[in-house]
A and B are shown apart, each in its own frame.
Chain A
């Protein structure tokens, strides 16, 4: 099964804005959905963004999502030290009937 393509790492300084991209295909990100998860060390992933740009209650508005064609992006503004974590994009593929995950992006706050 194909996977979604994310950068392996990104970094930024406190207060900065960073973005993480996730590339898929027409049958998943292009037409279905994109969801983003944050995973802190030793904990279960937490849903940050769903359906491309929707934030669950309790998620700060510093986190935002967008879609362009067959790619999705997660933006984090006003970067904070506690944002240092692994970020995963995920989607449902309507052709394959499977959930796909990206390999993850490690965010380092310098």
Chain B
């Protein structure tokens, strides 16, 4: 049984560009959350998707958007990238109270 899978694992983008990160939840999990973890910090909640809708959002600007597909997979999109967007982006899936994290996507903005 595959766990939470994320792609790509590493990527480098230039300021002003746009990026799309992808997440496939653990089998049977219907809820996907995204977190941003900057170096030396704990993960920060970006938003959560359930039944293809954004259920809750953290304190992130509108440049951060997402989508959930009927198969529960999800995408995180970030527009107009800033240097400060460089971080590990973590996807977490859940069904009920148990939460599993993917290995993350390392984004470097130069």
A-B complex is real? no
Residues of B at the A interface (CB closer than 8 Å) are none
Residues of A at the B interface (CB closer than 8 Å) are none
